[in-house]
Structure 1
């Protein structure tokens, strides 16, 4: 068994480079409905102070602002915050955007009524530290709302496929662990009371498996980086493996591509 400590700083640097390449907003915009559903699950109220952690292009941020909340949208990739700011200006929504690391949030204790993250904080390498930061900035009695891909859902399986071709650093918990209620209980511990976890489904819709790969290979950082890191024959094998996965899960048959992907919608009450 390899007990070598994980170099979280090095992992984070590589992750930041991956999410900075391509343009996640091309993919992220399609997931807006997840942010709307999470905002309703958290029962957001007008004037509540809301922090969106690892916000990407701002799906949860926009959903909260549409409900009258005072929102700060954060991410460690500045270009993604720019995409969120473009969307907020188009809708005349008042959202503050601030570069921030989910594992070291630059806010005082108990600063927010609600802390949100949709498919964002789950990718932090130091998971306990990220959970502790979300707890720290959430006031007692406040809520933490999460949308996390599950291990057995499509995106969980996609990352397992990538991992077979480019194994992750030893000792890292997979991001999809955030989609397991028992793991969330372990991460957040006794600082929380109720943990409401509801399985949901988001459907990826593309023309074909080849179209999906074209879009994700161009715009989705982790997939873009995986293909770039492999030699030509390795990239071809990865493409075949992803196509096989897509074809197995496609519910639209030959006419199109509709792939359901399970995620966990979570509302945690801070003690």
Structure 2
């Protein structure tokens, strides 16, 4: 299992705030799906720069955001100040949330929970901190979307790693989500949505991924230098299958899961 220091490193390098701007509509969709309203106690797990937390706070909720990366929390505090909303920000791990049982009316996560390891523990922690009758809701990239497709190409160029965690994109599979949440929830429902990542060309999207996404930056460190040109060509072929020339965007499909804590 990767150390917490390693995880912090992955999410500190690059520039997630630049990438995350295209995910704002997904954050709003998540808050809507959870029926967030005034005076509800809301937790945003792996909150990153605060997209979900701040959206919920603007609707009158009492918001807490937790993230393992201090740099992300600094960006979240700055964004909350700009939006003129109150929120509590905590450094913490999604598999060991620093909160009491039944502390929140709803626990949300916008793709951040996907990278917590082990995933079963990340799921049970969301259930634990949410009161009975409260909501759990999160969004995850679907296994057939462009991000896992790019990651699959990357994996072909990486050395074998028997200790690698489960692929994060399994969170986009409804059967996997059902297994992970188990009897802790009822009324599990799913919706599918799309965010459009703006890009001038497939090559521009790859340039953004390899320079701004910590996940890809770190993975590239383990790719042999001689393989980089072939890797780039293969990734561009994959992106081209998704690229929409009429809008200069790459649609990224996500799945929203919502359930009531039993």
Fold match, TM over 0.5? yes
Contact kept? 2:22, 2:196, Cα under 8 Å: no
Q: 1:265 aligns with which of 256, 259, 262?
A: 256
State how far apart, in whole Å, the 1-side matches of 2:22 and 2:231 are: 24
In structure 1, the gaps of 5 or more residues are 1-7
Give the count of matched residue pairs.
261
SS at match of 2:221: helix
- The 1:24–1:169 alpha-carbon spacing in structure 2 relative to 1, beyond 3 Å, is farther
Supply the RMSD in Å over aligned alpha carbons: 1.6
State how far apart, in whole Å, the 2-side matches of 1:128 and 1:192 are: 14
161-170 or 194-203: bigger deviation: 161-170
- The 1:149–1:169 alpha-carbon spacing in structure 2 relative to 1, beyond 3 Å, is farther
TM-score by length of 1: 0.91
TM-score by length of 2: 0.94
Q: Which residue of 2 aligns with 1:118?
A: 110
- The 1:151–1:84 alpha-carbon spacing in structure 2 relative to 1, beyond 3 Å, is same
- The 1:270–1:264 alpha-carbon spacing in structure 2 relative to 1, beyond 3 Å, is same
State how far apart, in whole Å, the 2-side matches of 1:103 and 1:134 are: 9
Q: Please show how residues 222-233 of structure 1 align to structure 2 within 5 Å.
A: 222-233=215-226
State how far apart, in whole Å, the 2-side matches of 1:143 and 1:136 are: 12
SS at match of 2:135: strand
State how far apart, in whole Å, the 2-side matches of 1:261 and 1:228 are: 25
State how far apart, in whole Å, the 2-side matches of 1:257 and 1:165 are: 28
Contact kept? 2:139, 2:256, Cα under 8 Å: yes
- The 1:151–1:50 alpha-carbon spacing in structure 2 relative to 1, beyond 3 Å, is same
In structure 2, the gaps of 5 or more residues are none
SS at match of 1:74: strand
**Following TM superposition, by how much is the alpha carbon of 1:172 offset from its aligned partner in structure 2, in angstroms?**
2.8
Contact kept? 2:12, 2:214, Cα under 8 Å: yes
State how far apart, in whole Å, the 1-side matches of 2:143 and 2:207 are: 24
Q: 1:178 aligns with which of 168, 171, 178?
A: 171
Q: Which residue of 2 aligns with 1:193?
A: 186
